[in-house]
């Protein structure tokens, strides 16, 4: 009797052209033809990210994630929480990125043996075994140019010579015997603001997604505490397993024995209820006239509530309607580009000088004879603000216990735009106006609606 085996059975890596370039099986071998169901779904999907993450097939289930234009397709035979698999696959990608700097098809192919060794350690019989970066690095050394050269000459190995005692540790995320001559701990507070702004400039939604990423290189077994000036901001947080929940709950202090090297200490979310200051504004006017083959395009942007810090790396992009053939626009600074095939307009603005606001103006040519485009484009904005966390989060102090030396401590703040959109005027189906209208006038005769058609 063959029982359906649980957990992750096999993994296939598929590139964007639909080739399997790596396969790994943790139990008996599953034929790669199982991926045909995945390819079918891939073909049906209009965009790469529209492939359903869970695909049932007659004998298996395929659960996949898409990262760096590679699909990581896990084969499952029976009930398992889908998020369990998805979270694990993302962990695999993170590990590859950590080891090879990038996670591309080329990098994976170049390091196929290390990849295989990693996958072997990360799952045992389909169940996660060692997923902590610190433990893995003790088991399998990340490739470096120097090591690769030395290895080829001397025939020495990537695999750790010593036994990986970290797996036995009560602090499983930190390896043993860490030694540095310069002891340092850096923390980066990085915030991403997601917002939808309507044309009048009022905020429909805005929220901040923040993380504190750490790079800790400290000798021995340091026990750190990190406190904030305004911990009340952090009411929606998720922690690295090293953080002691109870201490946070009781005192709002982050107390932890850090992993060695780079890791994400915590992620937090500041919702729109907490009044997020919007650092940028956009004025735009895009018009098409019925019967005309020309459209007008005008866009100006400027800083707003940035606490004196400058807006940098500003990039505007917008998907223009299909009817637009080409554009003839004039940027006051930076460079702009319009791709007539994808209809994607992008304008690399660079740094904003508050004295001289950047603008992009000009005309668009439309397909001759085509009717006036239905839709108005949404404007997407990217930007960065150095030395400032938009939520106002501030670290108070960092203390170390358990070790005698004095470490060097550093903290950095940064804000970036995440999904930051400015909506055009009359979008979509024109339904909004109707609804607002109806709400004001309660009841209007249907005849009106009929006459207009």
Partner 1 sequence: PSSSPRHDDLKEMLDSNKDSLKLEAMKRIVAMIARGKNASDLFPAVVKNVACKNIEVKKLVYVYLVRYAEEQQDLALLSISTFQRGLKDPNQLIRASALRVLSSIRVTIIVPIMMLAIKEAASDMSPYVRKTAAHAIPKLYSLDPEQKDCLIEVIEKLLADKTTLVAGSVVMAFEEVCPERIDLIHKNYRKLCNLLIDVEEWGQVVIINMLTRYARTQFLNPNMNESLLEEGGGEKAFYGSDNDDDTDDEEDKEEKEKKKTEATAIVKRKPYVMDPDHRLLLRNTKPLLQSRNAAVVMAVAQLYFHLAPKAEVGVIAKALVRLMRSHSEVQYVVLQNVATMSIKRRGMFEPYLKSFYIRSTDPTQIKVLKLEVLTNLANETNISTILREFQDDHFNDKDFVAATIQAIGRCATNIGEVRDTCLNGLVQLLSNRDELVVAESVVVIKKLLQMQPEQHSDIIKHMAKLTDNIQVPMARASILWLIGEYCEHVPKIAPDVLRKMAKTFTNEEDIVKLQIINLAAKLYLTNSKQTKLLTQYVLNLAKYDQNYDIRDRARFIRQLIVPTDKSGALSKYAKKLFLALKPAPVLESPFKDRDHFQLGSLSHLLNAKAGGYQVLPDWPEAAPDPSVRNVEVKESVPEWTKCSSREKRKEKKADKPFYSDSEGESGPTESADSDTASGSESGSGSEESGSGSESEESNEESESASEEDEEEEGKKKKKNVEKIKARKPVPETCLAVHAVFTQPPPLPVSVPQTIIPSGNLKTYELLHRITGEGLSVEYCFSRQPFSPDPHMVAVKIQFTNSATSEAKSLHVEDAKLQSGMRIKEFPEIEVLPAGETVSVVMGIDFCDSTQAANFQLCTHTRKFFVSIQPPVGELMMPIFMTENEFKKEQGQLMGMNEITEKLTLEEKCQGEHAVVQRVTTAANLSRVPCGSDKECRFAGKTVTSGSLVLVSVVTKEDGAAQLTVNCEKMVIGTMLVKDILQALTQ
Scanning residues 54 to 83, which ones bind partner 1 (CB under 8 A)? 54, 56, 61, 64-67, 76-83
By C-beta, is 146 or 250 nearer to partner 1?
Answer: 250
Residue 117, interface with partner 1 (CB under 8 A)? yes
Residue 37, interface with partner 1 (CB under 8 A)? no
| Backbone region of residue 155 per phi and psi (left: phi > 0; alpha: psi in -120 to 50; beta: other values) | left
Residue 97, interface with partner 1 (CB under 8 A)? no
Out of 375, 392, 411, 414, which residue is the one contacting partner 1 (CB under 8 A)? Answer: 375
Residue 101, interface with partner 1 (CB under 8 A)? no
Instruction: Give the number of other CB atoms < 10 A from CB of residue 190.
Output: 17
Out of 88, 228, 338, 413, which residue is the one contacting partner 1 (CB under 8 A)? Answer: 88
Q: Which value, to the nearest 10 degrees, does the dihedral of the CA atoms of residues 319, 317, 285, 192 take?
A: 120
Residue 18, interface with partner 1 (CB under 8 A)? no
Instruction: Give the number of other CB atoms < 10 A from CB of residue 346.
Output: 15
Q: Using the structure block, give the residue that is written with the tokens 């590139």.
A: 15
Q: Using the structure block, give the residue that is written with the tokens 């060794």.
A: 117
Residue 452, interface with partner 1 (CB under 8 A)? yes
By C-beta, is 183 or 376 nearer to partner 1?
Answer: 376
Residue 33, interface with partner 1 (CB under 8 A)? no
Q: From the CB of 139, what's the least distance to partner 1, in Å?
A: 9
Q: State the DSSP code for 35.
A: G
What does 380-407 look like in DSSP terms, one character per residue?
Answer: EEEEEEET--TT---EEEEEEES--S--
Q: Are the beta carbons of 123 and 149 closer than 8 angstroms? A: no
By C-beta, is 20 or 278 nearer to partner 1?
Answer: 20
Query: What tokens appear for 370 in the block?
Result: 């085509």
Q: From the CB of 23, what's the least distance to partner 1, in Å?
A: 5
Q: Are the beta carbons of 322 and 343 closer than 8 angstroms? A: yes
Residue 248: which of 231, 268, 267, 273 has the closest Cα?
Answer: 231
Residues 124-183 that bind partner 1 (CB under 8 A): 124-125, 127-129, 131, 154-155, 157-161, 163-165, 167-172, 176
Out of 144, 294, 367, 371, which residue is the one contacting partner 1 (CB under 8 A)? Answer: 371
Out of 68, 247, 304, 416, which residue is the one contacting partner 1 (CB under 8 A)? Answer: 247
What does 282-296 look like in DSSP terms, one character per residue?
Answer: EEEEEEE-TT-SEEE
Residues 275-304 that bind partner 1 (CB under 8 A): none
Q: State the DSSP code for 231.
A: G
Please report which helix (H) or strand (E) contains residue 439, including its range: helix 431-441
| Backbone region of residue 387 per phi and psi (left: phi > 0; alpha: psi in -120 to 50; beta: other values) | left
Out of 201, 241, 340, 354, which residue is the one contacting partner 1 (CB under 8 A)? Answer: 241
Q: From the CB of 186, what's the least distance to partner 1, in Å?
A: 20
Residues 331-360 that bind partner 1 (CB under 8 A): none
Residue 201, interface with partner 1 (CB under 8 A)? no
Residue 87, interface with partner 1 (CB under 8 A)? yes
Query: What tokens appear for 154 in the block?
Result: 């001397």
Out of 146, 275, 368, 450, which residue is the one contacting partner 1 (CB under 8 A)? Answer: 450
Out of 40, 116, 332, 356, which residue is the one contacting partner 1 (CB under 8 A)? Answer: 116
Please report which helix (H) or strand (E) contains residue 446, including its range: helix 446-451
By C-beta, is 357 or 403 nearer to partner 1?
Answer: 403
């Amino acid at each position: 009797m063959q029982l359906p085996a649980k957990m992750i059975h096999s993994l296939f890596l598929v590139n964007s052209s639909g080739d399997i370039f790596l396969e790994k099986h943790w139990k008996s071998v599953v034929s790669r033809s199982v991926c045909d169901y995945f390819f079918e779904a891939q073909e049906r999907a209009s965009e790469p990210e529209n492939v359903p993450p869970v695909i049932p097939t007659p004998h298996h289930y395929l659960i996949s994630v898409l990262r760096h234009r590679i699909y990581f397709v896990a084969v499952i035979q029976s009930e398992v929480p889908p998020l369990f698999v998805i979270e694990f696959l993302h962990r695999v990608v993170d590990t590859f990125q950590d080891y090879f700097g990038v996670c591309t098809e080329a990098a994976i192919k170049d390091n196929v043996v290390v990849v295989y060794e990693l996958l072997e350690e990360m799952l045992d019989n389909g169940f996660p075994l060692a997923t902590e970066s610190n433990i893995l690095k003790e088991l399998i050394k990340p490739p470096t140019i120097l090591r690769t050269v030395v290895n080829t000459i001397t025939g020495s190995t990537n695999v750790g010579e010593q036994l990986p005692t970290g797996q036995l540790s009560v602090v499983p995320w930190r390896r043993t015997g860490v030694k540095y001559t310069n002891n340092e701990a850096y923390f980066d507070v990085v915030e991403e603001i997601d917002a939808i702004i309507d044309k009048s400039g009022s905020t429909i939604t805005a929220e901040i997604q923040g993380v504190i990423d750490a790079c800790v290189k400290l000798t021995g077994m340091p026990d750190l505490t990190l406190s904030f000036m305004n911990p009340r901001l952090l009411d929606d947080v998720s922690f690295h397993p090293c953080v002691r929940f109870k201490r946070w709950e009781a005192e709002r202090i982050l107390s932890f024995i850090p992993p060695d090297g780079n890791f994400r200490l915590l992620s937090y979310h500041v919702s729109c209820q907490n009044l997020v200051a919007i650092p940028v504004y956009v004025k735009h006017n895009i018009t098409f006239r019925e019967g005309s083959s020309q459209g007008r395009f005008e866009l100006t942007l400027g800083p707003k509530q940035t606490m004196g810090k400058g807006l940098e790396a500003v990039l505007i992009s917008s998907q223009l309607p299909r009817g637009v053939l080409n554009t003839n626009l004039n940027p006051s600074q930076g460079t702009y580009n319009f791709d007539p095939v994808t209809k994607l307009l992008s304008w690399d603005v660079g740094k904003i000088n508050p004295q001289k606001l950047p603008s992009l103006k000009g005309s668009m040519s439309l397909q001759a004879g085509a009717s006036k485009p239905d839709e108005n484009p949404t404007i997407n904005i990217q930007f960065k603000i150095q030395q400032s966390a938009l939520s106002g989060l501030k670290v108070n102090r960092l203390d170390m216990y358990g070790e005698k030396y004095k470490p060097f401590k550093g903290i950095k703040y940064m804000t970036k735009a995440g999904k930051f959109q400015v909506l055009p005027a009359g979008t979509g189906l024109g339904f909004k106006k109707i609804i607002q209208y109806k709400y004001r006038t309660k009841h209007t005769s249907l005849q009106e609606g009929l006459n207009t058609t």
